[in-house]
Amino acid sequence: MHFSSRNDRGFSLTELVFVVAMLGTLIAMAVPVMKDITASIKLNEAARMVEREMQDARLKAVSSNRVIRVRLNCPGAGYIRSVEVLGTAADTAADRCATTPYPFPPPDDDIMTRPNFDGPVRYLPNQATVTTSVVQFSPDGTAMDVVNGTPTTLVAPLTVTVSRQSSSKSITVNNAGKVQLQ
């Protein structure tokens, strides 16, 4: 019969405590870094959503030969919606982003009945906020800032800020309609 010595049987209590203490220290250092990374990912997701909505609206304006507006914080804070410009008082109406009078998808598929190109109301994820603005895309792809219902030519790029907690991302739109996430 062979008896093994103390060293062959496994780890000592001191060694286990030391390893657990080292793991605890590494985890404690990693948690704040992971929180920062998670917060950054959530902000980027919201900013990309706004940028994509603008890119899609520009593409829709060009492909459908219609004027499309992206309304930020419409119908409320944290919501965005692309809407077709009708050339009527409805364009500046308070309920223009409401889905009851302006449903998505439209109730009919008749191209002559307007609006046909309103998008869905989207909510920014992860408690993100966005500056209130209305950006208009023309059928030629150019962009304008809409102030009090009146389209205004962009002399300098329009900047839209998406924020979450203490961080923010900027999206710029120039007069040629180029949308860029900073």
Rounded to whole angstroms, the maximal C-alpha distance in the chain is: 99
**Helices (H), ranges, the chain:** 13-64
Per-residue model confidence (pLDDT) at position 94: 84
Per-residue model confidence (pLDDT) at position 179: 96
**CA 56: distance to chain centroid?**
13
Using alpha carbons, list the distances in angstroms from residue 12 to 3, 9, 95, 102. 18, 9, 72, 72
Per-residue model confidence (pLDDT) at position 57: 96
* Per-residue tens of pLDDT for the chain, all 182 residues: 555 555 567 788 888 898 898 888 888 887 776 676 777 888 999 999 999 999 999 999 999 999 999 999 988 899 999 999 998 888 888 888 888 888 888 887 777 777 888 999 999 988 899 999 999 999 999 999 999 889 999 999 999 999 988 899 999 999 999 999 98
* Closest listed residue to residue 49, CA positions, set 144, 165, 132, 171: 171
Per-residue model confidence (pLDDT) at position 5: 57
| Cα 109 to Cα 119: distance, rounded to the nearest angstrom | 14
Per-residue model confidence (pLDDT) at position 15: 86
Q: Could you state, in order of their start, the residue ranges of all structural domains in the chain? A: 13-181
Whether domain 13-181 has CATH 3.60.20.30: no
Per-residue model confidence (pLDDT) at position 8: 62
Per-residue model confidence (pLDDT) at position 3: 58
Per-residue model confidence (pLDDT) at position 4: 56
Report pTM.
0.79
| Cα 170 to Cα 182: distance, rounded to the nearest angstrom | 5
